Amino acid sequence: MQKALSLLGPLSFFLLLIYIGFDQSLKSTRAQEINLDPVKKDEMEQPFAAVSYDLPTEISFAGDSVALNLSDVRERLDKELQINVYLHSSTLFLLKRANRWLPKIEEILLANGIPPDFRYLPLIESALLNATSSKNAVGYWQILESSGKELGLEITKEVDERYDPLKATQAACKYLKKAYAKFGNWTLVAASYNRGISGVARDLEDQRVTNYYDLHMNDETSRYVFRLLAIKEIFEHPKKYGFKLKPAHVYQPEPLKVVEVSESIKDLVVFSQAQGANYKLLKRHNPWLRQNKLTVKKGKKYLIALPS
């Protein structure tokens, strides 16, 4: 070390001493920052509080009672309930977003003769986000392109009505009514939204049962209805499971005006500004517009929502 220092000139040696002093001072400052609020040893050993919540004594979906007398049914519901309770931020924001959309979705369901419990289905499908799955199912109801076209949705490069929450709900109603005509049981209808009508029908036939809770199914569909039940239970009793929201914190429907368009729009940026808005707001309220132009065929009309 002494030999190395002897090779340094006086100025270099002086700068080295300054650096060492600065480095030690910096380390001391960082240590102070880290220890501003020291944690006591007994606090470090205190485990995170996790509560095992009681299952409801009874629960139903769309009028169908859940077979809580079966031990595997109780355990599967218990698992999904605990998981969703402890997805704190995700479930909290789901409660906030739902306040904006569930009344509108429920209105469409009731108008089509679908039990209101199905309003929870898009919550577990997409968390009320216009997401795209690994299988390219999109929108709140996670509808595939082929299914969307069969259900009457317009799907082109410029327009994709799967991204319209209300039109997608109308399309979903068509599927749910078709499934109910097949099964005559709403729990099986819910399972079929994940497994498909033919898949559920095949499982029922192969296993010679008639009830969802007697079926052995793939892991995803086996969990699907129980996720639906868990979200329903949390939404109906949020305080019971620790979710406390002030009315001012939930997201409210935004006041909108509807502009009827019967001619092509070359530039939606210019169009949105002419309407007193901007492109961001136009896309926020019309995610079904997939490009920044809109071609309108003769006799066709579109309704575009913008802030009022």
Structure confidence by residue, pLDDT tens digits, 8-45: 455 554 444 444 454 555 444 444 454 445 556 665 56
Quick one: 130 and 223 in the same domain? yes
Q: How many independent structural domains does the chain possess?
A: 2
Per-residue confidence (pLDDT) for residue 118, from 0 to 100: 98
Look at residues 111, 140, 93 and name the one whose alpha carbon lies nearest to residue 243: 93
pLDDT in tens, 47-84: 667 889 899 999 999 999 999 999 999 999 999 999 99
Considering the entire predicted model, what is its pTM? 0.83
d(CA 126, CA 106): 17
Quick one: 236 and 274 in the same domain? no
Domain that holds residue 280: 256-307
Q: Lowest-pLDDT range, 31-35, 38-42, 199-203, 241-245?
A: 31-35
Quick one: 287 and 147 in the same domain? no
Q: What percent of the chain has pLDDT over 70?
A: 84
Per-residue confidence (pLDDT) for residue 10, from 0 to 100: 53
Mean pLDDT of 280-298: 97
Task: Identify which has the larger pLDDT, 16 or 238.
Answer: 238
Quick one: 97 and 239 in the same domain? yes
Quick one: 170 and 240 in the same domain? yes
Residue 240 lies in a domain: yes
Quick one: 287 and 204 in the same domain? no
Quick one: 152 and 194 in the same domain? yes
Quick one: 141 and 276 in the same domain? no
Quick one: 160 and 240 in the same domain? yes
